[in-house]
Structures are given as C-alpha cells and as structure tokens.
Amino acid sequence: MATIHIDGRPCPARPGENLLQACLEAGADLPYFCWHPELGSVGACRQCAVRQYSGPDDRTGRIVMACMTPATDGAILSIDDAEAREFRASVVEWLMTNHPHDCPVCAEGGECHLQDMTVMTGHAVRRYRFTKRTHRNQDLGPFVNHEMNRCIACYRCVRFYRDYAGGEDLAAFATHNDVYFGRHADGALENGFSGNLVEICPTGVFTDKPFSAVYSRKWDLRGAPSVCTHCAVGCNTIVNARQDSTRRVLNRYHDAVNRYFLCDRGRFGHGFTAAPSRLRAPLARIDGRPTPVPVQDALRRFQMMAQDGPVVGIGSSRASLESNFALRALAGPARFSTGMAEPEHGLARLVADLLRASPARNPTLHDMESADAVLILGENVTVTAPRAGLALRQAVRQAAFDIADAARIPRWMDAAVRTLGAEACSPLFVATPGPTDLDPIARATYRAAPDDIARLGFAIAHGIDPTAPDVPDLPEDAARLAADIAATLRAAARPLIVAGTQYGTAALPQAAAAIAAALAAHNSAAALSLILPDCDSMGLALMDGLSLDAVRALARDGGIGTLVVMENDLTRRLDPAALDALLAAVPHLVVIDHTATPLSARADLVLPSASFAECGGTLVSTEGRAQRFLQVLFPDPPLQAGWRWARDLAQAADPGTAPVWQDLDDIVAAIAAEIPSLAPIGRAAPDAAYRLDGARLRSEPPRISGRTAVRANISVRDRPPPAAPDTPLAPTMEGAYGPAIPGALVPYYQAPGWNSVQSLNRFQQEIGGPMRGGDAGVRLLDGARQDETPRPRSAYATAIPAPFVPRAGEILLLPEPRLFGTEELSTLSPPIAARVEAAALRIADDGGATPTIALRLNGQRVVLPVIRDPALPPGIALCPPHMALRAFAAPAWAIVQPHGDDTP
Amino acid sequence: MTERPLTAMIDPAAGPPDCAAYGRAGGWRGARAALRDMTPDAVIDVVTRSTLRGRGGAGFGTGQKWSFVPKEPAATRRKYLIANADEMEPGTFKDRLLMEGNPLQLIEGMIVAGYAIQAGHGVIFLRGEYHVALDRLTRAIADARATGWLGADILGSGFGFDIHVHTSGGRYICGEETALLTALEGKRAQPRSKPPFPQVGGLWGAPSVVNNVETLCNVPHIVANGAEWFRALGLGPDGGTKLYGISGRVRRPGTWELPMGTPLREIIEQHAGGMRDGYALRALLPGGASTAFLDAGQVDVAMEYGAVEKAGSRLGTGQAILLDDRTCPIGMLHNLEHFFAQESCGWCTPCRDGLPWVERLLAAIEDGSGAPEDLDRLADHARLLGPMGRTFCAHAPGAMAPLASGLRLFRADFEAHIHQRGCPLRQAA
Amino acid sequence: MSTADAPLPPDLRADIAAMAAAEHHARMAAIPALMAVQARLGWVSDAHLADVAGLLGLSPADLDGVATFFNLVFRRPVGRHVILMCDSVSCWIMGRDALCARLCDRLGIRPGQTTADGAVTLLPIVCLGHCDHAPAMLVDRTLHGDLDEAGIDRIANALAADTPEGPPT
Ligand SMILES: Cc1cc2nc3c(=O)[nH]c(=O)nc-3n(C[C@H](O)[C@H](O)[C@H](O)COP(=O)(O)O)c2cc1C
Ligand code: SF4
Ligand code: FES
C-alpha cells in the first residue's frame, strides 16, 4: 500500500492506480466524466483537476488531471485548492453552455451524473448568454432513446460501444463543439450491448426507451437485487418496480461476474413479466375450455387427480432451485424429471461432472477477461452466453497490456495502451460451424461440423500431452492448426478453453476438458469454461432427475397418473409427435407457470406462478455459482412462487406427509440439507433475518412519493406494506441502507452527493474490486479450489468421434441460437420482439440459387429462406432453434426436399 | 553575403532542380556523408551538437528527439520518419516555399533523418490545399527513386528508405504531432496522450519521429558541413538560419532566410520594406497565430527562441503577423479566436466549449453588444486555458496566447468598444 | 438514380483497393480514398461513403466519423467549381471581408452556399500559406493572391462564363 496526502490527510492508495481512483476510494468527492472504472482514463473532460505538489517543499504545485496521474507513494495533492476548484467549476460551466435546461423532462433527472457533478462543483449561475447549438436526434431502435442536445462529449459512449464492445455502428462525427455521437443513419443499434449506453452516458443522451414509456423517477422506484434469467451466465441485476409492474432492469455490480455491463437480452428481456401471455388465475379445463377457478377448487381438482395414479414432476432449467425442489418433493425424487430431453439432459450432467473433475480452473467471467490465449471449441458464445462473449473480447487485449507493462504505462491509461498495442492481439481461436461475432478479432477461425471440431480439439490435447489419445486421419490443414493451437496454448500463461452444449455433442465439452487437463498438468492457471443453455441448467444438473425420455418411457408403461410440469413449455423440448404420445398416455396434466405456453393450453389445470420479479429464489449459473434473486413486486393472491404451488399441491394430495415450508429460507434450508451438491446455497445471500444496524434494509429510496396517492383511484387509505417473508428487504422506504450493504442485497445505488449509478464507487472495497459488504452468491463446483498446486489429471475421454460425413439428400441441422428470438422468455418482451429477425437457414454454398429451402424433420415440414455461406462446411445447416421448427434444439438430420415442392 | 543554405537553390523562375541539377548544385552531400561514412548514432550526435531546434513551433532539440528512438536497425523493426508539412498556422508560409522551391532538399533531409533513427518508412504529411507542392514532391520522389536515392539499399549502405506523401483532409490540429499520427492512421485526428511519446510508440505503436519540413531541410547541411558551421550561422545562442516571414500592411510581405537571431526590426524594415505609407505598426504576433502579441516598442527583439520568450512571446514559426494602427485589434482577436474555436478537435471540454464562448464574447464586443464583465470572462478564459496541462493538447494554450496579451495591450480599445457600443475605427470611417 | 447513388466506377474502386493494399493498414487510405472519390464526382455521397468503407473494411459510421472531421471532405454536393477563400488573420487584415462580400454579391450566394446553376460553391478556409500575397483564395486547384476588387471581378466573370457545356474558351 502506498500513502498519498489529500489536502493534508494521509490516505492509503494502491500503487499504480491513478489519483482519481485513489481519491474516490478515500471517500473524497472529486468530479469526473470521461473516466470509467472499466474503460480507464483518457483525459478528455478535464473535470478531475487537482493540484499536485512535487514534494513537501513545493508550495506552488501544478494543476493535473487526477485520472491521468499515477498515485505514487508520498504523492501530495489538493482537491480543495482554490484554483483547482475554480477550474472544475469552469469545466461544468463550459459543459453547460450547450446543455439544455430540461432536467424536469429528462429521464436522467434524479440519477444524472451531470446533475451530481454540477452540484458538486457549485456551478449554479449561468453566465453564458449566447445561443446553444441544436442537434437532430436519431431513432436508434427499440432499446435506446437519443437526445443529442444533452451531450457533454465525454466520449464514453463510443469508447464503450466501439473499443470495449466491438460495435461498429456508433461513432463520433464532426469536430469542435459540433461533435455528434450517433449512427451513420437512423436505425437500431446493432451491438448486443447497446443498452449499457444508458448507464455509461453520464447524462440524458442515451436513456432506456422501454422504461421511458413506463417512466418513474429513480427515487420513486422500488428496487431489488435479481439475477438475469435469460441465459446461464447469471449476470446480477437490479429490478426496478413501481405500483404493480416491473419498470426496468439495471446492472448490479458483481466483481467476478458481470461487473459493469449486461447484454441487451438481459436488460430488455424482462418485459415478459407484463406481457399479455401472463397467467394470473388458476385455470381448469371445464367443458374443454380453460376456465378461471378459485384456488380451493383448483387444489381440490388436483386432489382428485392424484388419486388416479403416480404423480410425476417435470422441472425446468428456467425455474428456480426452490420450485424444482418443491416439485421433486411433491413427486418424489424417483419421479422427478429435470425437464430436459436427451442430449441436453446428459450434457448438463456431463458439464457438471467435467467441471468438478477437471484439474483446470473453472474461471469466473472476470478471470476470462485476463486469459492470454483462448480457444473456443464449438460454441457461439456471444449468443449462448453473451456476457461471457464480452469478457472474451477483452481477453485479446492481454498482449497490449504486456507491451504497456514493459513500457511502464499503467493499464488504466486506456488510449496509451491502445496506441502501443495497436497491432498486438492475444491469440483467440474460434472453431465453430458458422460465423461468430468474435471472428474479426480471432487469430484463426476453423469452420467445421461439430464432430470435426471435437476431433480438432482432441488433436490439440494430444499435441499438448502425447499420452492423450491421438486422432487418426486428421486432414493436413486441421493437423497443422491443431499443432499451432497446441503450441500457443502451451506457451500461454493463462490459457482458457471454452466449450458448451449448443450443438448437442458430448465430444465438444469432452475434447475441451481434455485440452484443459493436458494444459493443467503444466500450468495451474489453465482454465476450462463450459456453457450450458439456461439460467438454472446447472442447478438441475446438480439436483439430478429423470430425462424427459425416461418420463416418456414411464408414460408408455402406464406409470403416470398426473404429470405436473413446472415452468417448462415442453413443446420446446419434445417434437409434436412425441409430445402427443406422452400426453395421450397421461390422464392428467397440470402446468405451473407464470406465462401461458402452447403446453399450458393443453393442461387440465394451470396454476399461475410468480415471475422472477414477484418471488425470491436461487439459480445456479453455468460456472456453478448459486445466486439469489429477491422479490420486488408483491402481487395479490393467487399469484405465488412456483414452489408454493408445488407445496400446496402436495398438501392437497396428502396433508400428512407434505412439506411445511413457510418461506424461502425454509425451503432453502431443506434443499441444503437434502442435496449435498447444493448444500452451500444458503450462503448465496443473507437470509430474511439479515439486519443492518438492527434494521431491515429498505428497498425504496427515502424520498419515494405518492405512497397513498398512487392508488387514490382505488382507495385513499394508506395501504399497509405487503408482507415480505421471503426477503431481507423491507418493501418500503423505511429501513437501513449504506455502503456496507452486502452485494447480494443491493436494491439501488445511491450515496450522499451521488445519485447516479456512479455511486457504486462508494460501495466497493476498491474501484473495480469486491463489494464492501461482500460479493453475492456462492460457488458450488470449485470455489475453494483456487490454490496454485496442479491437480491430478483425470482420465482422458477416449470416445473420439468419427469424421463428419455429409449425406446425400439430407442435411445436418444444427441449432444456432440468436441473441434475440430463440430464448423463450425474452422473446415475449416487446422491445426484444421488435428486434427478432425472421428465421433463416445458413448453409454452405450448394451451388443452388433458390432463395428458400424446404426441409422435413420429424414430420414437420418447413420452407426457410437460405443464406449461402461458402465458409460453412458442406452437409450442415445452421438453424435458429424454436423459431421455424417446434422443439428443434438438438442436431438432427433433415431431409432436403426437392425445390419447387413447396406444397406441404 | 550571409550563407542561405536552405534557399540557395530556390529559384522561383526556374522551378525546382531535378536530381542531377540538385547534385550539381551541391545537393546529396549530406546523404552521402551520412550513409557512406557515418553510423546512425554519429548522425544523431552531429545534429545534437549543432543545436538544431524544431522549426515547427515548439523548438525541441532535434538530435535529442531522435535519441529517444529505440536503436534497432531499420531492417528488423518498423519505424517511421514523418515530415510535418501540414503548415496551417495562420500567418505561416515557409514550408510551402521549401517544398515548392526545392523538394529534393526535404527528401535528402528525410533520408538522413531516417538513417539516423533507422526508419525504413518516410511519410510527408502534406496540407491538402498545397497542390503545387504535391505535384513537385511527387515528381521529386519519383526522380529520387529512379536515381536510387530512395528504395532498397541506398548507396550500397544496406539502408533502405522510401517516402510516401499523405495529403491531409484538412484540420489545423493535424499539425500537432500526435494528432498527425492519428490522422495518418485514418482516424479522427484527435491528439494522443504522452506517454507513450511518438519516438517510442507512434504510428500504429511503432517508433515514429515527427519533424517539421524546415527542420528536416537543415539536416543535410549540418551533416555535410558540420555542427560548428551550423552553430556559427546563428547570431546568438541558436544555430543556423531561419525562414522569417512578414505579413500585414508592409511594403514587401514575404519570407527570407536569415541568420537565427536576426532582429525583428531588421526583418520588418529592411526585408519587408517597412510599413506601408499611412500605416504605423501597432503590435505583432512574432511567430504565427498562437504566439503572444509583442507591441510596437518591442521590435528590437532578436528573433531567437530565448529572446522572444523573454519578451513575453514565442518564436513559434518565426513568421510574424503585423497589426497596424488602422486595423481593429478586437477584430483581429475575434478573427484569431474564430479560427481556434473552429479548429478545436472537440476532444477536451475547456477547448471545445471554452473557445466558442471566447469567440462569441469578442464578436459581441466588436459589434457593440459587449458588457464590461465580458472582459472578466475573457480574462478568466485566458487564465484558465492558458497554462499547458489544463487542456489535452497545446491548441487551447496557443489560442490563449494572443488573447491574454491582447487583453493587456488593447485594454483601451476593449473599453472603447464597450462604451461606444461598437468599433471606434469603424464609427470614425 | 442520381450519380450520388450510382455505384462507384470500377476503375475508381480498383484504385481505392490498391491504395488500401499499399498501406500498412487499409484504413490509412481513408482520406486519400475519399478525396479520390471527390476528385472524380465532386463530393462524397452516403452511398459512396458506404462503398469506400466496404473497400477499406470499415463500417460506414466509422468512416463517416473520419470524413466529417476534416474540412476538405465534402459530404454535401458542391458546384462544379469550389472557391476556398482564406478567412484567417493575415488575409483579414488585408481586407478579405470586403472582398468576400463583393464575391458573394457577384455570385448571389453567401459563404457555404452554391450558386443556383450549380456552377460555384464558396467556402471559407483557414490560412492558405499565401499570407505574403494576402488576401488569397483557391479556385479549384489554382491559388490566387493579392486579390483586390478587380481581381475578384475578373474571377467572378470567368466563373460566370463557365456553363455546364464547358469552360469559356
Ligand atoms: C495545434 C498545433 C498545431 C501544430 N501545427 C504544426 C504544423 O502545422 N506544422 C508543424 O511543423 N508543427 C506543428 N505543430 C508542432 C508539432 O506538434 C510538432 O511540435 C512539430 O511538428 C515537431 O517538429 P519539430 O521538432 O521539427 O519542430 C503544431 C502544434 C500544435 C499544438
Ligand atoms: S485542446 Fe483539447 S479539444 Fe482543443 S484541440 Fe487539443 S485536445 Fe482537441
Ligand atoms: S475524468 Fe479525468 S479528464 Fe475526464
């Protein structure tokens, strides 16, 4: 630790950080705009001026930009210096010469960094008496509003969008005080991380468009910590709500996971909670028609059903551990299904097993950012785990960091590091059947069928460790590439292998694990990251259960009386014929879900469950991190958490043996007690008994307005606050709040003088470091295994697939998810739906010229527009799952029908 | 007659010499000496000892600048030698003369400089408006290539060097050496932070030296004739000759190569022929738009780095702009600040948003809508933006130099404008 | 389809591709390529900007951010002749404002505008490095100095005689 002196006060500083960081960490109020903890310093806004003295005898000192000045031991500076203060006030005054006085109608008002900094610098009187410039705004699509007149030209937007996220369609235009930040022409922002502009922009240029339609001031919003449900990465979020609806999702900082950024699917996908497809009352099939019934009636109906034979529960990888566990308790462990069909079911278990057994590290997202050689083996990461893709994008900067380190340039000197490293790019290899967003920054790409990619992977493992099985008959170019990749990974200090289950091939994660194991024998920093599809896929893999195929077999044998399906649209998992056969063999179907699905339309009984915003629960991310989401909305009955429905059904069926969990902590404890692999989940977040300074935490800012008036059209009485037994957060503005709040319980970020998201700085132990109150979640797979000693190598998988052979008249359809349109729930959110593009088939150049192709798969026939891509290997086709073909989610041979035969 | 190495071969009537004529007239001696007989370090050494300082405005020691470049041979590391031929400083018209009059001299200077720092790639960053210079440089480069002065293995030295001309899209900031690099990379020409200094991490991160055209033109002569010869050319502490220029209401505006340290009075009165009839000298900017005003009483200053600085300004480009007694100083300041506000790159706040405010205040004062407190605002800006380090680059401090000095020198004119609600000169006319 | 929308002529595309290939990084050819388009077609339309961007491997936004930074890249149509009239300090001292007003009168436009017949665009420009012959201006590629009223009139007359059919003989 270094010591620096701020206005005479000795303060600890981390050597190598900059003075701005050091001042903020010391609790000082030093304004800034262009600096961002994740983007580093560029010295554009000149807002962070301080006076620095060269030593104790220096009486004059000089004005420096704190963000551009390294904090060296013994540094002496003054924030309070009159000239520095005057300069900082002038910077805001200059910014204000063109900034409109539209705070009252600006969506940023009340959480505006520019407002905070204006107050902080004391600029209060307008002296500029000339006209302001005006800009024309652009339509940037369904996610982000654009109001360029508010721009203060801090350049953060383009630095994030272009430099950090690799976006191409946002730029700075023109010069002097005409600089304009926008697109070349109106149109939706193309980058999948565009929503972060809303938080990156320190003023109201880029704001959340869906939120503006249901707008409330920040101080009028209740907040709760949540976890994104739209993929398996487990990004931490804050959900804001007012009255009875969710209003927006914001990033919640987690040092090791998503840090400062979310993908657009996560930020804008929450709209499904208010979609017309929401279920709000129990529905029973009466005279063939789903009819709302009272809860008691529904439960009685189930009681009758349960007498007709065994109850089988089908869980879901998009439901919480609690809901799955309660269903498992209802049906019994032997009659509980993970809700996944093969190959997904087996792959989820395989991934959990590989990660547990691997001698390589299981990296966090933040670890992935610092990998210095990356191999992606058969997974389109930027669509299956978008935020992980963003982390991998940062990994290629390691080479530039090395150059900067050698030149003694601190890594936060962003522009300098990018200048020096202009031609330096750490190796990233992308081996996927089709193109990915990371290809442009890859050292090499390899386009092949999944089996051939797996073969490449095994060959790489063999290249690193000759005792790993060899791959016979590898084509020469693949052998050369494998040797190159093997040598590169071997030479790297922090190599990382990424694979997943997207293509339904066990050989891919196995090959990835083999490479990682081979590396780990020499390098304790070697890492293996495996990606599963859904927000609780890993939780279910750890909980275990029957596959859907096993359920089908049970049904065929007449072994099912009632099927209870928890938050799982089986039409996405089983092809129509298989589903029909299953349902035909089952007398009763009960569906518990928050959203109507094609499956719920066929149920005898539908029970409305709470969405993630309306209940609490635990999800296990693909890296095996159990994380808690908390309730922000308190809906009236009968809406309740899925686990409560399962409990109530159990009680209806057999009051004697049914579980008696009352609140979330009860069931969490029950899970921990019953399932060893999930034992630590109680530590994912403090329980409902948590108190800060003896009080519950508040989830509403103390200024919240209209507590009574907001419902005055219904009643003018002050309504008692809702009961909130599942959360340590009080549902009102009464309660404790402060910078030591645990990371798992952050309802919103605010600190004295800091009303914007920038106030996060006050909640971290150090800028960019862990939360003062501790990070959220608990690692289940290997959190304790962060030691340096190499671990013993597990046995290599020996089942090396045969080379892929195309078939005449058929094509191997591979599921190629999309950022928007293939994930179930986000697609129900209107802004996401607006970005969904029509399904199309990507195939190799088949010499044909027809704009469409007709396919037959499992009795379904579709005609799809076709994109011919000469880079694709012949014999395969990439097809977005769940769009054109119902239930298509795993590779399958489809029959290509002669063209012109377009009649079904 | 004093020696005029830089302009000796320039004959506007005859046009620039070709390679052969250039050699006959004494050209290529520097390149021959360097590439045949000297190590790169020996070249750096002689240039350092010559005390040659950058003629682009900042006056940094040229040999010293080169000495920071990593020492690997050109064949093993990509490095660049870049001639700054952007010449957009208002009132400056010397590099154009050198390039139009004797492009091979610049090329020879670049070969020697490139050899010294072991750069294989030469770039001339040329103003887009300099069409004649472009034509002549292009022809000269082709000529030099054809005669073996450019290309692989020049003079059998093993050193290979070629030159490429980049014409600018036009922005004053491109003359700033780091912005020049960004512009060359095909990006928005925003300046870069230092470190890394261009000599270590310049174009695409490769070591790069940026030198002004006039600076480079001096180099072959230094190498051919020695450091002592060069030092002796100057009248004072600074060695060499300098292209001095005068514009404004003088009898013979122009550019002359004179010994470094020539008194300003001599330049104005002897070379420029003194003020035109009916005009008296009021004040002047000694070295381009971004230098501070000297008043008429200071014309005895020697035009060399130290002396001009002592007088309260900067030598800059050595090209003086004269304000006469019948031209409104407020109007002149307004014109200058309009230029600086327009040419701000838009990167940093004080410059981007402060200069337009200054410009508008001056416009208001000029057209009669000024208020006494406007002078305080102008002074605030001069004080807040003037020192280096407040803004990202030297553009805004350059803009404040004439303003700060002008506020002092022309106080009475400012007050008259405000009190009489407009320009007294115009009102009198 | 106006010329602004017509694809770039193949030889120009080839030239630009060659420029890009000759550089250490294709984007270094950005300004030269835009200027080449402009030399042929007068200005850089959105469609041509996108074409050039494609040839250089840049996004249109990226290239337009560069194009709009610089003075000499015309992103709007200009006349057959472009006058760049210096508005910097030496020329100002030597009376360029009055001459500019006169030229505007003669052309019937203000600075920044193009004559109705599409013949002439008048733009201000920073110091042309011709201060010893101030006031100065550039008419297309020809530099004119020591301008006075007579000189302005002469140039305006010559331009007025230039019709789309061809320059005056
Ligand atoms: C705003 C600004 C504009 C500049 N314009 C020029 C220019 O047009 N030509 C030039 O040679 N130097 C210019 N300079 C100076 C260069 O940054 C740099 O110091 C010079 O090219 C170095 O060459 P020298 O050492 O040979 O003088 C400018 C500097 C600034 C801050
Ligand atoms: S001072 Fe700032 S805005 Fe002005 S030119 Fe330099 S970097 Fe650009
Ligand atoms: S935050 Fe330091 S200059 Fe912008």
Give the CA distances from residue C154 to residues A48, A102, A193, C98, in Å, rounded to whole numbers and listed in that order: 56, 52, 59, 16
Is residue A900 very low, low, confident or very high in pLDDT (cuts 50, 70, 90)? low
Confidence check: pLDDT of B1 > 50:
no
Q: How far is A162 from chain C (nearest CA, A)?
A: 9
Per the domain annotation, does B4 fall within a domain? no
B289 shares contact with chain C (CB less than 8 Å): yes
What is the B174 CA–ligand 1 centroid distance (Å)?
9
Chains contacting C with at least 3 CB pairs below 8 Å? Answer: A, B
Task: With respect to residue B378, please indicate whether it lies within any of the assigned structural domains.
Answer: yes
The answer to whether B350 contacts A90, with C-beta atoms less than 8 Å apart, is yes
The enclosing domain of B191 has a CATH number of 3.40.50.11540
Kindly list the distances between the CA atom of residue A488 and the CA atoms of A371, A379, A461, A494, in Å, as whole numbers in the listed order.
12, 20, 12, 11
Q: State whether the beta carbon of B392 lies less than 6 angstroms from ligand 2.
A: yes
Do B114 and B64 lie in one domain? The reply is: yes
Q: What is the pLDDT of residues A735-749, one digit of tens each?
A: 999 999 999 999 999
Contacts with C34 from chain B: Cβ below 8 Å: 169
Residue A19 has pLDDT above 60, yes or no: yes
Of B131, B168, B289, Cβ closest to residue C141: B131
Q: Which residues of A touch B (CB under 8 A)?
A: 42-47, 49, 62-64, 68, 86-87, 90-91, 94-95, 97-98, 127-128, 130, 152-153, 155, 172, 174-179, 403, 407, 409, 413, 415-416, 419-424
The pTM assigned to this predicted structure is: 0.97
Of B188, B342, B377, the CB nearest to A176: B342
Prior bond to B195 cis, omega within 30?
Answer: yes
Q: Which atom of ligand 2 is nearest to the CA of B355?
A: 4
Cα distance from B50 to chain C (closest Cα, Å)? Answer: 29
A174 touches chain C (CB under 8 A): yes
**Distance from residue B117's CA to the centre of ligand 1 (Å):** 19
For B106-120, b where at least 16 C-beta lie within 10 A, e where not — what string?
A: bbbbbbbbbbbbbbb
Contact A64 B389 (CB under 8 A): yes
- Mutation target vs A (from C44, C68, C70; most A CBs, 10 A cutoff): C68
> Do B395 and B341 contact (CB within 8 A), yes or no?
no
Query: Does the pLDDT value for residue B141 go beyond 50?
Result: yes
Tell me the shortest Cα–Cα distance from B74 to chain A, in angstroms.
18
B344 lines ligand 2 (CB under 6 A): yes
The predicted structure's pLDDT at residue C166: 45
- pLDDT, position C123: 98
Is C132's CB within 8 Å of B130's CB? Answer: no
Closest approach atom of ligand 3 to CA A67:
2
In terms of domains, do B320 and B333 share one? no
Contacting subunits of B (3+ beta carbon pairs below 8 A):
A, C
B305 in helix, strand or coil? helix
Asked, for residue B14, whether it belongs to a domain, the answer is: no
Q: How many other C-beta atoms are found inside a 10 Å radius of the C-beta of residue B368? A: 14
**Alpha-carbon span A483 to A406, nearest angstrom:** 29
Asked if A208 contacts A597 with a C-beta cutoff of 8 angstroms, the reply is no
Q: CA-CA distances (angstroms) from residue A322 to A278, A667, A676?
A: 21, 7, 15
Q: Which fold has domain C81-160?
A: Glutaredoxin (3.40.30)
Q: What is the pLDDT of residue C167?
A: 44
Q: Which of B174, B345, B349, B381 to mutate to test the interface with A (most CBs of A within 10 A)?
A: B349
CATH number assigned to the domain covering C10-67: 1.10.10
Q: Hey, what domains does chain A have and what are their CATH numbers?
A: 2-95 (3.10.20.740), 283-345+538-624+635-684 (3.40.50.740), 361-525 (3.40.228), 810-897 (2.40.40.20)
Q: Quick check: C4 pLDDT over 90?
A: no
Q: Cβ contacts (< 8 Å) between A174 and chain C: which residues?
A: 68-69
Q: Are B187 and B203 in contact (CB under 8 A)?
A: no
Helix, strand or coil for residue A808?
coil
Residue A791 confidence class, pLDDT cut points 50, 70, 90: low
Task: Kindly determine whether residue C64 and residue A175, on different chains, have CB atoms separated by under 8 Å.
Answer: no
Q: Determine, yes or no, domain membership for B1.
A: no
pLDDT at residue A703 tops 90:
no
pLDDT at residue A324, as a whole number: 98
Q: Phi first, then psi: what are they for B211, rounded to 5°?
A: -130, 145
Of B336, B329, B358, the residue nearest B417 (C-alpha): B329
Query: What is the rounded CA–CA span in Å between residue A858 and residue A575?
Result: 7
Angle between helices C149-160 and C96-107 (to 10 degrees): 30
Does residue B283 fall inside a structural domain?
Answer: yes
Chains that touch A (3 or more CB pairs under 8 A): B, C
Query: What is the DSSP code (8-state) at residue A707?
Result: T
Asked if residue B9 is part of any domain, the answer here is: no
CB within 6 Å of ligand 1 — which residues?
B 54-58, 60, 84, 86-89, 172-173, 175-177, 210-212, 215, 393-395, 398
Check pLDDT > 50 for residue A784.
no
Q: Examine the fold and report which residue of B324, B347, B364 is the final residue of a domain before the chain moves on.
A: B324
CB A823 within 8 A of CB A852: no
Could you report the per-residue pLDDT of C100-159, keeping only the tens digit for each? Answer: 999 999 999 999 999 999 999 999 999 999 999 999 999 999 999 999 999 999 999 999
How does residue C168 score in pLDDT terms, banded at 50, 70 and 90? very low
Indicate the annotated binding residues of C.
86, 91, 127, 131
What distance, in Å, lies between the first and last C-alpha atoms of chain B? 46
Which residue do the tokens 């030598």 mark? B315
Looking at the structure, do residues B61 and B175 belong to the same domain, yes or no? yes
Write out chain B residues lying below 8 Å of A64, CB-based. 389
Answer with the one of B308, B324, B340 that is the final residue of a domain: B324
Q: Which residues contact A17 (CB under 8 A, 6 or more apart)?
A: A25, A70, A71, A410, A412, A766, A767
Band of the pLDDT at A793, cuts 50, 70, 90? low
DSSP of A857-895: ETTEEEEEEEEE-TTSPTTEEEE-TTTSSTT--S-EEEE
Tokens read off for A22: 């050091």
Identify whether residues B80 and B145 lie together within a single domain. Answer: yes
Chain A contacts of C126, Cβ < 8 Å?
A: none
Q: Would you say residue A326 has pLDDT above 70? A: yes
B404 phi and psi, to 5 degrees? -60, -45
If asked whether residues B143 and B93 sit together in one domain, one would say yes
pLDDT digits 0-9 by tens, A227-256: 999 999 999 999 999 988 999 999 999 999
Chain C CB contacts of B327 under 8 Å are 93
User: How many distinct helices (H) and strands (E) make up chain C?
Assistant: 7, 4
Q: Do residue A173 and residue C65 have CB atoms under 8 angstroms apart?
A: yes
Looking at per-residue pLDDT, the higher value among C164 and B221 belongs to: B221
For A44, the closest of B201, B380, B392 (CB atoms) is B392
What pLDDT band is residue A216 in, cutting at 50, 70 and 90?
Answer: very high
> Which residue's CA is minimally distant from atom 2 of ligand 1?
B176
Task: Look at strands A617-620 and A625-629 and give their pairing.
Answer: antiparallel
Q: Do B357 and A68 touch (CB under 8 A)?
A: no
CB contact under 8 A, A153 and B349: yes
Give the residue from A211, A209, A275, A281 showing the smallest Cα distance to A241: A211
Q: Identify which of A87, A98, A178 has the shortest CB distance to residue B390.
A: A87
Residue B132 has pLDDT above 80, yes or no: yes
Question: CA B340, CA B173: separation in Å to the nearest integer?
Answer: 10
Contacts of A278 (CB under 8 A, 6+ apart): A272, A594, A595, A596, A608, A611
d(CA C68, CA A342): 55
pLDDT of residue A897: 84
| HEC sequence for C1-55 | CCCCCCCCCHHHHHHHHHHHHHCCCHHHHHHHHHHHHHHHHCCCCHHHHHHHHHH
Residues B223, B249, single domain; the answer is: no
Whether residues B285 and B354 share a domain: the answer is no
Interface contact B384-A87, CB threshold 8 A: yes
Would B124 be classed as within a structural domain? yes
Amino acid at A112: C
d(CA A267, CA A246): 12
Three-state secondary structure call for residue B211: strand
Model pLDDT for residues A360-382, shown as the tens digit of each residue: 999 999 999 999 999 999 999 99
CATH number assigned to the domain comprising residue B268: 3.10.20.600
Are A390 and A263 in contact by the 8 Å Cβ rule? The answer is yes
CA A96 / ligand 3 centre spacing (Å)? 17
pLDDT over threshold 90, residue A345: yes
Residues B37 and B163 occupy one common structural domain: yes
Residues A685 and A625: their CA atoms lie apart, in Å, by 12
| Domain final residue, candidates B309, B324, B339 | B324
**Tokens (6 digits) for A815:** 């599921």
For ligand 2, the distance from its centroid to the CA atom of residue B209, given in whole angstroms, is 21
Residue extents of the structural domains in chain C: 10-67, 81-160
Task: Examine residue B10 and state whether it is found in any structural domain, yes or no.
Answer: no
- Eight-class DSSP state of A760: G
Which amino acid, one-letter code, is at A464? Answer: I
Return the structure tokens found at C97: 């404002």
3-state class (DSSP) for residue A591:
strand
| Min distance A182 CA to chain C CA atoms (Å) | 8
pLDDT value of position A329: 97
C-alpha–C-alpha distance, residues A41 and A66, integer Å: 10
Whether the ω angle into residue A100 lies within 30 degrees of 0, i.e. cis, is: no
User: Residues of C comprising the binding site for [2Fe-2S] cluster?
Assistant: 86, 91, 127, 131
CB environment A804-824: b (16+ within 10 A), e (fewer): beeeeeebbbbbbbbbbbbbb
- Looking from the CA of residue B172, the nearest atom of ligand 1 is 3
Same domain, B140 and B286: no
Give CA separation, B40 vs B30, B113, B157, B257, in Å: 13, 9, 11, 29
pLDDT at B189 over 70: yes
User: Do B213 and B275 belong to one domain?
Assistant: no
Domains identified in chain B, total number: 3
Q: Are B405 and B312 in contact (CB under 8 A)?
A: yes
Q: Are A687 and A728 in contact (CB under 8 A)?
A: yes
Mean pLDDT for the stretch of residues A100-111: 95
Structure tokens at A347: 């792959």
Instruction: Answer yes or no: do A171 and C46 touch at CB < 8 A.
Output: no
pLDDT of residue A899: 63
Q: What is the pLDDT of residues A538-549, one digit of tens each?
A: 999 999 999 999
Interface check B378 vs A, CB under 8 A: no
Domain membership of residue B370 as a residue range: 329-428
Residues of B in contact with C25 (CB under 8 A): 185-186, 204
Q: Note whether B69 and B104 are same-domain residues.
A: yes
Q: Which amino acid is at A327?
A: L
- pLDDT at position A904, please? 42
Structure tokens at C44: 């850089």
Strands B162-167 and B121-126: parallel
| Token pair for A246 | 């969710």
Cβ within 8 Å, pair A173-C68? yes
Beta-carbon-side half-sphere exposure of residue A104 (alpha carbons within 13 Å): 1
- Of the candidates C89, C125, C131, which has its C-beta nearest B332's C-beta? C89
DSSP string, A631-656: ----PPTT-B-HHHHHHHHHHHH-TT
